[in-house]
Structure 1
């Protein structure tokens, strides 16, 4: 790939696995420097060692209020600026609501909604001062339709879809693009809550996509001319029936 993002500096949350890792690798291939944000210090150390000097580890526990608040300042101690923020960290709950305990609901809503809002809030002053920036959020096709087997997850993604699209309108006058990528089911640890028979059926029917197919969409969004905003890209397995 030609280095379309040469000289850009990105921060990616949930970067040690899944879509976050795939996006990190795609950004590096496109010429960017990437600050990899994750709570798993050991995994970050191993991955940055493999990926080289342009991959920088940032250990942050996004569910810890103080650690989350320090994320952007600590990133800016390691790099000069932030051109791109990819809010990707998230978790998943499937099944009937009655089967889920309230502590798990709180954790998921905090990570999928509150943390995204706080990370965006914290990077905005920096991007406004520079007069440019890109914010991309990993949303979900579940944020576009009510999916009955995942009411908590789907509800969180509906909320974040609304947030992304309102922030897009708030920030475009400052030269900041805001958009989301909305994948269908991706082969990752987030599907661990799926019933085994459903997961196997999805694999057998070709109804899952790889994280790299989502990162490809993100690179497309980021490499458009500055007069173009991709507000949302829905990326589905061809055989996904919903």
Structure 2
């Protein structure tokens, strides 16, 4: 018997990066995993590779109707949800004046609004069952004001507040809520990093792999129910902010 046998997990942003690594780790631990992403072709490839207990859920979290339909559709496909990992997100780096208002709206809608909507949708289900785990991918940028990413850092500070207030609301219902806060992770999000910062990070080993973040998520999920890991900050050893 493995650690998550019989559990159903839904992971957003599961077609790549941390989301994929998290989904793969939960699947390997015995969970049925619903991989949520807007990239239908990638989901088909991944679920075919994983085989049994891997379910694709095509959702565009930036589309209000698609976002609202996500939890009901996951429940229809999988029956229940034990674990919700809100992982999908985007990144904006650089000075505030270097971006656009449309890009700001998109990032806040994905990094903040979609997370709140997904949690809002799953809470009644988990409350009725008297059990559940909600994990949100935050960032070290949600703990420190990073001068080269004010919009991104602001979104993650908002999520840190949201996660920790929800943790206090929901623990009485048997629902654990926590966040994982990585430093720079080798993923598509780094494409928007200032070129000089990315070059230096690669040269001095200040990046971590998605699988290392997934290991932290698995640590959170596999504690006994009397223990809640409220936040795990995962940093490259050579990263200094």
Task: Calculate the TM-score normalised by the size of structure 2.
Answer: 0.99
Aligned partners of 1:25 and 1:221: how far apart in 2?
16
Shift of 1:3: 1.3
Q: Secondary structure at the match of 1:117?
A: helix
**Residue number in structure 2 paired with 1:19:** 18
1:128 aligns to 2:127 (yes or no): yes
**Residue number in structure 1 paired with 2:101:** 102
Aligned partners of 2:166 and 2:195: how far apart in 1?
38
Shift of 1:201: 1.4
Aligned partners of 1:234 and 1:137: how far apart in 2?
12
Aligned partners of 1:160 and 1:117: how far apart in 2?
9
1:207 aligns to 2:212 (yes or no): no
Q: Secondary structure at the match of 2:55?
A: strand
- Which ranges of structure 1 fall in alignment gaps of 5 or more residues? none
Shift of 1:20: 0.2
Shift of 1:198: 2.1
C-alpha RMSD of the superposition: 0.7
Of 123-132 and 188-197, the range deviating more from structure 2: 188-197
Aligned partners of 2:127 and 2:155: how far apart in 1?
27
Shift of 1:190: 0.2
Aligned partners of 2:66 and 2:177: how far apart in 1?
24
Shift of 1:167: 0.1
Aligned partners of 1:194 and 1:173: how far apart in 2?
40
1:144 aligns to 2:133 (yes or no): no
1:175 aligns to 2:174 (yes or no): yes
Shift of 1:196: 2.5
Q: Secondary structure at the match of 1:180?
A: strand
Shift of 1:204: 1.3
**Residue number in structure 1 paired with 2:38:** 39
**Residue number in structure 1 paired with 2:224:** 225
Aligned partners of 1:79 and 1:99: how far apart in 2?
43
**Residue number in structure 2 paired with 1:82:** 81
Of 189-198 and 159-168, the range deviating more from structure 2: 189-198
- Which ranges of structure 2 fall in alignment gaps of 5 or more residues? none
1:54 aligns to 2:53 (yes or no): yes
Aligned partners of 2:199 and 2:32: how far apart in 1?
37
Task: Calculate the TM-score normalised by the size of structure 1.
Answer: 0.99
Aligned partners of 1:153 and 1:43: how far apart in 2?
26
**Residue number in structure 2 paired with 1:92:** 91
Shift of 1:53: 1.8
**Residue number in structure 2 paired with 1:197:** 196
